[in-house]
Amino acid sequence: MQILTRASPWRRLLDNPQQPFLNHAVLLAPLQEVFADFPHQLDVTEIKPWQLRFVKALQQMDVPAWRISQLISDHNDWLYRETIIKSLAEMQANGWGEPPVDFCILQLGSAARHESLLRPDQDNAMIIEDFPVSRYLEIDTWMQHLSEEFTQRLAKAGIPLCNGHVMARWPLWRKPSSEWLEQMRLWTAGRIVKKVQLSNILLDFNPVFGNSNLAKNFQAELSQLLPKAHGFLNQMASLLDEIPVALDSFDRLQASAKDAPHSHALNLKQQGLLPLQSSTRLLSILHGVTAVGTRERLIALVTRQVLLPLEAEDLIQALNQLQDLLLDAQLESLDAGRLADSWVDLQKLSERQKQLLRIDLKLIKSFMRKVRKNFAD
């Protein structure tokens, strides 16, 4: 658990209860100090340390981890836009000219859901406005150059390149609108595991730059296509079995075995957050929910009477608790000079934290079973 070194500024809000507005400067002081040093240059030596200071200031103001996650994601949105704008300006200065057609850059995964914490890598894609086949070489070369430029700038700004190559610089993730739709028709036509896995990566997307109508139209097409792809959805449901929560057969906390840094390490992203996010995504697709964030999807499932309000509230609270634990673990790692990752040390959790984690994971496990019942094997 992170121990804050300064008292919460909220306790100063009513120092002068007759004129509380005079105390707002005290309340906002942690953020004012951070924003006074906001780095406008996309320099990893400045940007990432600033983001860490920003997170710690938000913690000092008692902002919960789930809200901090949204604000980190908003800052990363800004980084995306800045890198793309600078890349476009450099291309024009070097004689590439204006974009030949409209395009839209998508963020994928946790960035799209606005659930990023302190060490997201790049997951992005590009939708290009449809154009004549005769112009393919001209237009795709232009878009590839832009994609290479902005993803490299993002890497320099502290959001590393994706090891799995899920980036617009690669043809698989850069296509005209009609080709994206045809790609999804092919991916959803059966129960091929690899195609389902690729679709899972794509289906959490959010436009971050360019003509957002390209993304909206694509989402509208997917909303018609996906609920009818029964074999595809059944396979997606089967894949939930491959991401179990960190509980043993007796529902006791179980440390991770694969790639664990030590014998009492638990990968909270892979064995807690991912099962919840994946189950919620699948249930949302089945019921035509177009929201991207896990919270927003759970709320939408209530409005569609798929989940009871208390079910959704419990799952949202579980998501909140997991993000709290993971953010604390990441901050501790950074303070110790290590990289922020997804590992939580069970030995460093209090008994109360372990009990709450066990309850949350049992809740997610039960939710996964409920989602699976919607699909035949």
Domain boundary among 224, 254, 286: 224
pLDDT for residue 4: 47
Angle (nearest 5°) at CA 70 between 83 and 243: 100
Are residue 171 and residue 145 in the same domain, yes or no? yes
Amino acid at position 189, single letter = A
The pLDDT tens digits for 36-92 are 999 988 888 899 899 999 999 999 889 999 999 999 999 999 999 999 999 999 999
DSSP 3-state assignment of 261? Answer: coil
Asked if residue 286 and residue 198 are part of one domain, the reply reads no
Is there a single domain that holds both residue 138 and residue 251?
A: no
What's the domain range around 198?
Answer: 64-224
Calculate what percentage of the chain has a pLDDT beyond 90: 80
Is residue 197 situated within a structural domain? yes
Compute the distance between CA of residue 363 and CA of residue 349 in angstroms, rounded to an integer.
19
**How much is the mean pLDDT over the chain?**
92
195 shares a domain with 68: yes
Q: Identify the pLDDT of residue 114.
A: 96
More confident site: 260 or 118: 118
Instruction: Say what the pLDDT of residue 375 is.
Output: 85
Over range 152-171, report the average pLDDT.
95
Whether residue 1 is predicted with pLDDT greater than 60 in this model: the reply is no
Residues 259 and 302 in one domain: yes
Note the pLDDT of residue 140.
Answer: 97
Do 103 and 130 fall within a single domain? yes
Whether residue 163 lies inside any domain: the answer is: yes
Which pLDDT belongs to residue 291? 96
CA angle, corner 234, sides to 230 and 237, nearest 5?
A: 140
Residues 76 and 213 in one domain: yes
Closest CA to 199 of 270, 114, 285, 267: 285
Q: Looking at the 3D structure of the chain, how many domains does it have?
A: 2
If one counts every other C-beta atom within 10 angstroms of the C-beta of residue 254, the result is: 17
Specify which residues 205 forms β-bridges with: 108
343 contacts: CB under 8 Å, gap ≥ 6: 256, 260, 261, 265, 266, 267, 268, 329, 333
Provide the pLDDT for residue 119. 84
Q: For residue 261, what pLDDT is reported? A: 85
**Quick one: 302 and 201 in the same domain?**
no
How much is the pTM? Answer: 0.92
Local confidence band at 197 (pLDDT 50, 70, 90 cut-offs):
very high
Alpha-carbon distance 170 to 175, whole Å? Answer: 10
**Residues contacting residue 131 through CB under 8 Å, at least 6 positions apart:** 100, 101, 139, 176
For residue 273, the domain's CATH number is: 1.20.120
Residue 3 confidence (pLDDT): 47
Asked if 180 and 300 sit in the same domain, the reply is no
Pairing status of strand 103-108 against strand 174-176: unpaired
pLDDT class of 19 with cuts at 50, 70, 90: low
Looking at the predicted structure, is the pLDDT value of residue 27 above 80? no
CATH code of residue 199? 3.30.460.10
Predicted local distance difference test score (pLDDT) of residue 207: 98
Give residue for tokens 């092919």: 186
Give CA–CA dist 297/314, Å, rounded: 14
Q: CA-CA distances (angstroms) from residue 193 to 187, 190, 231, 242, 278?
A: 10, 9, 11, 12, 15
Mean pLDDT is lowest, of 38-47, 169-178, 228-237, 281-290, for 38-47
26 pLDDT band, cuts 50/70/90, is: confident
- Residues 258-316 have pLDDT tens digits of 788 888 899 999 999 999 999 999 999 999 999 999 999 999 999 999 999 999 999 99
What pLDDT was estimated at residue 20?
A: 58
Structural domain includes residue 83:
yes
Is 331 part of a structural domain of the chain?
Answer: yes
pLDDT-derived band at 6 (thresholds 50, 70, 90) equals: low
Q: What is the C-alpha separation between 90 and 152, in angstroms, rounded? A: 13
Whether residue 28 has pLDDT greater than 90 = no
**Residue 301 identity:** L
Residue with tokens 């960190």: 246
Tens-digit pLDDT profile for residues 139-158: 999 999 999 999 999 999 99
pLDDT beyond 80 at 160: yes
